[in-house]
Structure 1
């Protein structure tokens, strides 16, 4: 009786002692020897039985519903020939995040039980050395059976240990190894066999445990090896191909295909891992989600980059998109190296003997690509890439003792293929090859061919590069039909050192008197000009002075799309040779070949040369008239025989690719010098194809193909032998214009009355009244550098070499003061009268006796004060108005006056010119004196 009562008392004392030690027991507790009794517990579950081994778990829930609620359990492993065996039970879904109870068979009969903590990888979990909630009770290894009994508080609530859910199912994993070897820590705790593990969901209160499929290590390995193949195989090869093999046709398609396949693979392998449990708190999972997110960003950047090759809007930001795409791509691949290493460390921990082959493949791939990229990059820098061959030493930037100081010699900058250090063995002209002139080449381009010229001689087809060119389709369309020598062999700023900005003219002084000086008879105007004057160094120096301002130059460089191409690209270009450019199709081939060593290129108005748009600004509000300023893309690349400037009546032709079609339009240019810089004034029409295209362009964004000049000049272009002689210009000039048809007239008055860099004869002495003015003596010659268009100009006295302001009223006009010029201009609204107003006002203030202006405003409105010059008529131009003006300015009854001494020009919209011709014919104007300038073509 006493013994019977003593047993429960001792048991309760033992449980009390265990509870007291619950938070203080440390790891590596040697389990008291004693054979646990599995039948004393209410529930059991056999996890494994087979191959001579049986693994089971027995348990009961004690003190249910109290703060001391406890799981009382026994782990059992039975089998023959067990040595250094271990059995484990884990709380969690995978061994990557579970907490374990492990029972070890030690030497002899010793048993050890303690908690283990997951390492986040598939390797033996770490011993947990903190306060343990699993309390060993007893254990034994007897009759080939390993038994370990323990207590574990179900709700530790310590923020470290997992609380066991007794109201639902608890995730459980199990494993055992009946014959363990030593691991990398020299402990008898080695990897279990593939079948000696499993997973279950336990209803600990209800007493049932349901086995569930264990998380598949094979799927994770498939995920890992697949991701490694994409990130360390497919993607680096795609990048390598795009970077170093872009001289091959179709490289973009290869790059795009590999990228798409890689993204498909990533999605597939990501879906595979989604079928498994993912611990989002682990670095590998976090970094993986980041990579997946940025893959989406990279995909969007790649699509925008490709679309920017052919899309006008996206092309403006493509530079930054491309850089972002390249940098993000490199960052993703480098990050993926770390990600793959993290994945391998999870699946095949480095310290484990298994999986060494996977690590060998990883290091081999990384070493291969590092070697490939570094080696190829070095090879390209040494043997393939080329640096800018620079400007030939033919330019002259000279100091002058003259007041305008600096000049730059244009010309001599053409770069020939023989001047490069790259042998062009495939660039061979054959007698059977087609020959082109610039005219026939342009016709071929208009018919849909894609042709470019290099070195002014070789014609290449770029059709096969239209979808593969790294710079995109837009730049190929921009250069189609032009010479690409400078673009192909130079960087954008290769000629920056040669550039000298146009000096800014000093602002007009408010106290300067308007040009109201009395004009004396200019009988001296026809004095002979000596040959010495015509060859004056000052005149030549001023004609060589720069026309571009600093801002113009920056926009020109920005508009260029140059690139120093590799030797591979040059050889590729050589293989695309399809013909030869010749000045004349009738010239014998032998004669052309004899001149092959020549580096000069002859000027041909049919050649499209590329210009940069440097100004796009409205000059009126209501009438939507804009001023566009263009600068030659390579201003120092001059053709032999290139005209010094545009003559009145000449036009240029602009070609643009709009909505997939080549559109051309003629415009009358305004310039103060050579062909490298000019302006056009254009009225913007709501449905105008070219005008709407032009007005949408931003300065510095686009290259424009422009050729010319075309058309017969309104005056004889031959220079007069005697300054002021009117033999080269008719004595009477009448210009009848409608709307923007006034632009040829503006060319005329600038050329005849407001020239720049042309000598003017001083007909009246002038004494300077301000310190910045010139003192002039009758007979002096003065060259104008800048017009204020108020009757004053900045010029240089050729006799003294001094520079300063002077009134144009003391000089004789270039065309002589005996020439009579009349403008009759009809417009729809008063706002249109501002077109050319600056030039007209300047001419009236300088030479009022030579020019008369009549403005007719159809809607009856009047311009604001000072907004228009000349005689204003608030009415539509009619036949009586024409007759009245012509009888004053064009003596209809003077049959003695030679026809050659007078000329009438008509220019305006469709219908206007025919109406004017009918009216003046009825009045009695000799039609031999009449010239109609069509608005849509040149004559």
Structure 2
């Protein structure tokens, strides 16, 4: 209650100061809020407030330069093709500091003037249809499903326990702005003039031509961070999971189209946490809701980014760029950096590292090596997938891609096999959705589970993935051409040798094995595959 009273008092003083200053400014200058007709014409409203001599002297920078400065701790925004330093304004912003921290490093043109005609409609807390399917009756893991639901009220109480005015603002805003963006409004001529006084540069991807500015804003540039609104949070792990797994669904804010996410695409999320600039890579999953995508993250106690995302309230925004092709990370020739997540704290990265991580410009790769370049529809005839933990997300991309083509061409013949590895039963997540995919595949997808520490009466595979398990899993699921009449006859070594020879010589089908998971696990699988003679150079991809 005390926090709410303090909040109302703060808002009252802020409104009095803001309205008083606004009217004094308008009286002195004869200016008022922008008329609706002015807003609809989308004139260069900020440009008009910048003296011509100041504008001409402005240096020109690129988004590459902007990203580098953001990583160094700069507090910059872009609007109408201009770069502004808002560091001094953040502390006294009437709407609070946190709302400005969320827009650092992005283009705020539409947000500053609240062009609502270009904004999407938001529906918060609505689950994808994939999660509304009932559990398949023949699911062998049905008795182990114990997925808990997400309680947003508990999340808000947890935020309030951290006891800061900014956190109180967040909770009140998220409760007050239902199915709309949080705390957005038209800015006045006074605010526009104030922002214009903070200009420091021009962004060279834009030009002085207004049409060009609008065109660049509407195009999707994967190297530029854009803000997406969080519309849903779901827990997809069991209630007894040691580390919860959550699914976050985001939606585009303005009129731009959501980019198409292909298997192997990843995005990068940028956040400012405890004085650090953090960048993390995640696998986006196309949602069945228009203009939405999801990510799946496992929350670690020591994980700054995962805990930060877990605490975000529905209705707030996050900074994302991409998609990028994972081929750039897998191929030794194209990989400029480690695929591991980056901690971009100015305290532990020098300028060269900052440029390398945050301001790197990946050239769009035409490869998309997770797809079959020899097929018109890019689908594999036979696809083996091995995933550990959240390494399943690229496999979900692949499965959904193949099943989408199956819906378009029901006669398309392919076989998908997934080996999902976890330590305990509580570590497995997304039970219902995985079984929904199996049911929707019309027999073309088979999922096998393996646990290193299984519960009593566990009927699936157990232990670590080694040569024996790989041999049985491969041979039990797919028989290459020419091997139908060969039986094991008690000599498994001889059989697997023949099996691998037949697999190599199976030119009738395109075959691929893709693995993703913890590096040590992938190293072990690669060694085991090599030991049993699997053609890893031609038919395997390892994502670490």
Which of 549, 561, 579 is the aligned partner of 2:201?
A: 579
1:244-288 deviation digits (Å, cap 9, x = unpaired): xxxxxxxxxxxxxxxxxxxxxxxxxxxxxxxxxxxxxxxxxxxxx
Aligned-residue Cα RMSD (Å) equals 4.3
Match of 1:854? Answer: 448
TM-score, normalised to structure 2, is: 0.68
Q: Shift in Å at residue 388 of structure 1?
A: 5.9
Is 1:885 equivalent to 2:473 in the alignment? yes
Q: Shift in Å at residue 697 of structure 1?
A: 2.5
Which of 1, 24, 48 is the aligned partner of 1:376?
A: 24
Secondary structure in structure 2 of the residue aligned to 1:565: coil
Q: Shift in Å at residue 449 of structure 1?
A: 1.7
Q: Shift in Å at residue 553 of structure 1?
A: 12
Aligned counterparts, 1:781-820, within 5 A = 811-812=410-411, 816=412, 818-820=413-415
Which of 426, 432, 435 is the aligned partner of 2:61?
A: 435
User: Relative to structure 1, is the Cα distance of residues 689 and 598 closer, same or farther in structure 2, using a 3 angstrom cutoff?
Assistant: closer
Which of 522, 531, 535 is the aligned partner of 1:913?
A: 522
Is 1:830 equivalent to 2:480 in the alignment? no
Task: Flag structure 2 segments of 5+ consecutive residues without an equivalent.
Answer: 139-173, 327-367, 481-499
- 8 Å contact from structure 1 (residues 458, 581) kept in 2: yes
- 8 Å contact from structure 1 (residues 435, 582) kept in 2: yes
- 8 Å contact from structure 2 (residues 285, 294) kept in 1: yes
Match of 1:656? Answer: 271
Is 1:468 equivalent to 2:92 in the alignment? yes
User: Relative to structure 1, is the Cα distance of residues 650 and 899 closer, same or farther in structure 2, using a 3 angstrom cutoff?
Assistant: farther
User: Relative to structure 1, is the Cα distance of residues 651 and 691 closer, same or farther in structure 2, using a 3 angstrom cutoff?
Assistant: same
User: Relative to structure 1, is the Cα distance of residues 431 and 885 closer, same or farther in structure 2, using a 3 angstrom cutoff?
Assistant: farther
Match of 1:452? Answer: 77
- 8 Å contact from structure 2 (residues 392, 516) kept in 1: yes
Q: Shift in Å at residue 760 of structure 1?
A: 2.4
Distance 2:449 2:527 in 1: 20
Distance 2:22 2:60 in 1: 44
Q: Shift in Å at residue 481 of structure 1?
A: 0.5
1:780-836 deviation digits (Å, cap 9, x = unpaired): xxxxxxxxxxxxxxxxxxxxxxxxxxxxxxx44xxx2x2121111110111232x23
Q: Shift in Å at residue 461 of structure 1?
A: 1.8
Distance 2:249 2:465 in 1: 34
Instruction: Kindly indicate whether structure 1 or structure 2 has the higher relative contact order, using CA contacts under 8 Å at least 6 residues apart.
Output: 2
Match of 1:86? Answer: none
Distance 1:318 1:387 in 2: 34
Which of 291, 294, 307 is the aligned partner of 1:676?
A: 291
Match of 1:607? Answer: 224
Which of 302, 319, 342 is the aligned partner of 1:705?
A: 319
Q: Shift in Å at residue 443 of structure 1?
A: 1.9
Richer in helix (by share): 2
Is 1:741 equivalent to 2:365 in the alignment? no
- 8 Å contact from structure 1 (residues 734, 823) kept in 2: yes
Secondary structure in structure 2 of the residue aligned to 1:705: strand
Secondary structure in structure 1 of the residue aligned to 2:102: helix
User: Relative to structure 1, is the Cα distance of residues 900 and 637 closer, same or farther in structure 2, using a 3 angstrom cutoff?
Assistant: farther
1:131-155 deviation digits (Å, cap 9, x = unpaired): xxxxxxxxxxxxxxxxxxxxxxxxx
Match of 1:260? Answer: none
- 8 Å contact from structure 2 (residues 120, 252) kept in 1: no
- 8 Å contact from structure 1 (residues 607, 707) kept in 2: yes
Distance 1:552 1:373 in 2: 29
Task: Flag structure 1 segments of 5+ consecutive residues without an equivalent.
Answer: 1-296, 302-313, 331-371, 393-414, 516-550, 584-588, 762-810, 865-870, 935-939
Q: Shift in Å at residue 637 of structure 1?
A: 2.6
Secondary structure in structure 2 of the residue aligned to 1:911: helix
Distance 2:131 2:542 in 1: 40
Aligned counterparts, 1:622-637, within 5 A = 622-623=240-241, 624-632=243-251, 634=253, 636-637=254-255
Match of 1:730? Answer: 380
User: Relative to structure 1, is the Cα distance of residues 632 and 499 closer, same or farther in structure 2, using a 3 angstrom cutoff?
Assistant: closer
Distance 2:128 2:278 in 1: 36
Q: Shift in Å at residue 902 of structure 1?
A: 1.9
1:152-180 deviation digits (Å, cap 9, x = unpaired): xxxxxxxxxxxxxxxxxxxxxxxxxxxxx
Secondary structure in structure 2 of the residue aligned to 1:893: helix
1:369-397 deviation digits (Å, cap 9, x = unpaired): xxx999738738972333566985xxxxx
Q: Shift in Å at residue 567 of structure 1?
A: 1.5
Q: Shift in Å at residue 918 of structure 1?
A: 1.1
User: Relative to structure 1, is the Cα distance of residues 903 and 429 closer, same or farther in structure 2, using a 3 angstrom cutoff?
Assistant: farther
Distance 2:311 2:23 in 1: 46
User: Relative to structure 1, is the Cα distance of residues 378 and 434 closer, same or farther in structure 2, using a 3 angstrom cutoff?
Assistant: closer
User: Relative to structure 1, is the Cα distance of residues 861 and 604 closer, same or farther in structure 2, using a 3 angstrom cutoff?
Assistant: same
Which of 901, 914, 931 is the aligned partner of 2:541?
A: 931
Distance 2:457 2:404 in 1: 25
Q: Shift in Å at residue 579 of structure 1?
A: 2.2
Distance 2:128 2:522 in 1: 41
Aligned counterparts, 1:358-369, within 5 A = none
User: Relative to structure 1, is the Cα distance of residues 380 and 484 closer, same or farther in structure 2, using a 3 angstrom cutoff?
Assistant: farther
Distance 2:130 2:38 in 1: 35
- 8 Å contact from structure 1 (residues 416, 599) kept in 2: no
- Alignment length, in residue pairs? 438
User: Relative to structure 1, is the Cα distance of residues 447 and 505 closer, same or farther in structure 2, using a 3 angstrom cutoff?
Assistant: closer
Once the two structures are overlaid, the 10-residue window that deviates more, 875-884 or 428-437, is 428-437
Secondary structure in structure 2 of the residue aligned to 1:681: strand
Distance 1:431 1:863 in 2: 75
- 8 Å contact from structure 1 (residues 821, 852) kept in 2: yes
Match of 2:11? Answer: 323
Once the two structures are overlaid, the 10-residue window that deviates more, 619-628 or 318-327, is 318-327
Aligned counterparts, 1:2-401, within 5 A = 320-325=8-13, 376=24, 379=27, 383-386=31-34
- 8 Å contact from structure 1 (residues 653, 665) kept in 2: yes
User: Relative to structure 1, is the Cα distance of residues 882 and 631 closer, same or farther in structure 2, using a 3 angstrom cutoff?
Assistant: same
User: Relative to structure 1, is the Cα distance of residues 922 and 373 closer, same or farther in structure 2, using a 3 angstrom cutoff?
Assistant: closer
Q: Shift in Å at residue 497 of structure 1?
A: 8.9
User: Relative to structure 1, is the Cα distance of residues 375 and 853 closer, same or farther in structure 2, using a 3 angstrom cutoff?
Assistant: closer
- 8 Å contact from structure 2 (residues 252, 292) kept in 1: no
TM-score, normalised to structure 1, is: 0.41
1:411-461 deviation digits (Å, cap 9, x = unpaired): xxxx8452x498334377548613212x33212210122221113x22222
Secondary structure in structure 2 of the residue aligned to 1:699: coil
